[in-house]
Structure 1
């Protein structure tokens, strides 16, 4: 006689391919009904504008988490890039952007070296690096705002192609490239293999250290791109405020979108939907004049619920 208690698989109720889009649709429709002026073209475009930088870093975070890592330095990388590009923009856009992205590349290289070569724990390593690079950004910027005037560069964050913001177009290109990488390239399959079982991946001839190096570099460069766009939108470099809570928003988007912390799966489109869910929550709370801190509480509950659904099944 089977004495095992029946087990309800809550995870099966949240298929990442359908659960997250359904939740987004429900949130949008509910706000369209109960939040005045929510379901307008201008507000929808504004939400896409605001969420685009989150999508940059969330896509990079998807690569990292799929490889069974974590990157908490994305917000600090944004701040570092912000102050560097603002200080150097007077020497020309090419010089400023190139140097700023080199700084982001340096962050990714150091993270990759510490985690893949020295085998340090990704959480502790990037937590320490988060503090380090935010401090470096504040030292470089002397803890002050760094204003500048450069209409060409500012178009990156304020310009439009037709009626669509330029940064939304860039985000779409990044998402399409990441989706293609994960679904159709050898490197994408290697990321999933390393995250699923690193030892088996090594036995299959995959250079796990190299894969980890690259995912942290990709994450840092996309965070750098987000920093550039955010700085262009603000019209100034801000080492203290740019990128604050960016890692939280990115991780929330990735986890809610169906990429598990345990690695071995990458859902780029799910990450996009997760980022949109977080943005709809923020926008609706703002339009309903509910304090922003309450949106953080709700987002935290959603993250915990998503992790609960992704927990290992009982055997």
Structure 2
């Protein structure tokens, strides 16, 4: 009798059916990136070459850098439409510094050209934060001001002309390589790593997410909400300034009409596809990196298959719609 009881199988809870939708919601970005990579590895000639890898990484680096700042802003429940114009301002100021007779051909000139424009963009970013926190402007309105006026400032700084230059020291920022990998890719990785650390391991990072999740509760908990908002817009401006320098270094020229054009849309798209909630309260820096890579690889794939770039832009729009719909599905 005892033996029969011992042999009797125990009641085990029934296995839950595999929830494909939940898996896609959690790992859809990684799976999409993997599918794109495998598809191109099979059907696109020379895709696995170092040259192709570098081309894709250099084209996505500035989107990721700006996207990191956008991620922090969106995590607080805001938006920053000014990043493209701040890139133009940064890109217009740098040549004015290192082409100045006092600094031309000097290391000091290049150092100043790599720092002052970034700091100026950060100041403009803090101005956005000031309008939002001091005058209670909606972020989309506050940043729309510099979206419009910022590019005008850049055009005034450059006198509306294309600024071409030959400066090997400065050009290293966009054209230099170390161990066969472009310098801007290292900068992208550094920015991502610092942002991940900021969000995961610092009080400020936790405050950013808390503010976006529930601003009133954050105030009651003693979080300096206004300061947090000011700093995320300042960081967004600083990163936009860095991206602007990379763009003009790649081209050895600065065009205030072109530098940073539509970058705000690319950055927002990367953030949305990466899984950061557009209403705030959640931020994933690695997700933004994955989102930017997905958008870049889709565009590259379509072009490699002979699809016009205009179609690629339509596909990008559909991706954003899909990402927002997926976010809504997660909340429900």
Question: What TM-score, normalized by structure 2, do the two folds share?
Answer: 0.88
CA distance in 1, matches of 2:310, 2:216: 42
Larger Rg: 1 or 2? 2
User: Following the alignment from structure 1 to structure 2, what is the Cα–Cα distance between the partners of residues 227 and 41?
Assistant: 25
Q: Is 1:14–1:309's contact at 8 Å kept on the other side of the alignment?
A: no
**1:253-292 map, 5 Å:** 253-292=270-309
Structural mapping, 1:11-30, within 5 Å: 12-16=22-26, 18-30=27-39
How far apart are 1:80 and its partner, in Å? 0.7
After TM superposition, the structure 1 stretch with the greater mean CA deviation from structure 2, 237-246 or 30-39, is: 30-39
The equivalent of 2:252 in structure 1 is 235
Deviation (angstroms), 1:254: 0.6
Q: Contact (CA 8 Å) 2:25, 2:326: kept in 1 or not?
A: no
Quote the Cα distance in structure 2 between the aligned partners of 1:97 and 1:239: 17
Q: Decide whether aligned partners of structure 1 residues 312 and 128 sit closer, same or farther in structure 2, where only a CA change above 3 A counts.
A: farther
CA distance in 2, matches of 1:314, 1:68: 16
- 1:237-271 C-alpha deviation (Å, 9 max, x unpaired): 11011111111111111111010111111101111
- Counterpart-to-counterpart distance in 2, 1:14 and 1:279: 20
Residue 50 (structure 1) aligns with: 59
Q: Distance in 1 between matches of 2:330 and 2:52?
A: 41
User: Runs of 5+ in structure 1 lacking a partner?
Assistant: 1-8
The separation in 1 between residues aligned to 2:57 and 2:25, in whole angstroms, is 25
Pair 1:40 & 2:49 matched: yes
Instruction: Indicate the RMSD between aligned Cα atoms, in angstroms.
Output: 1.7
Structure 1 position 11, deviation (Å): 7.0
Q: Deviations over 1:91-111 (max 9, x none)?
A: 211222333123202211110
* Residue in 2 that maps onto 1:183: 200
Residue 133 of structure 1 is matched in structure 2 by 150
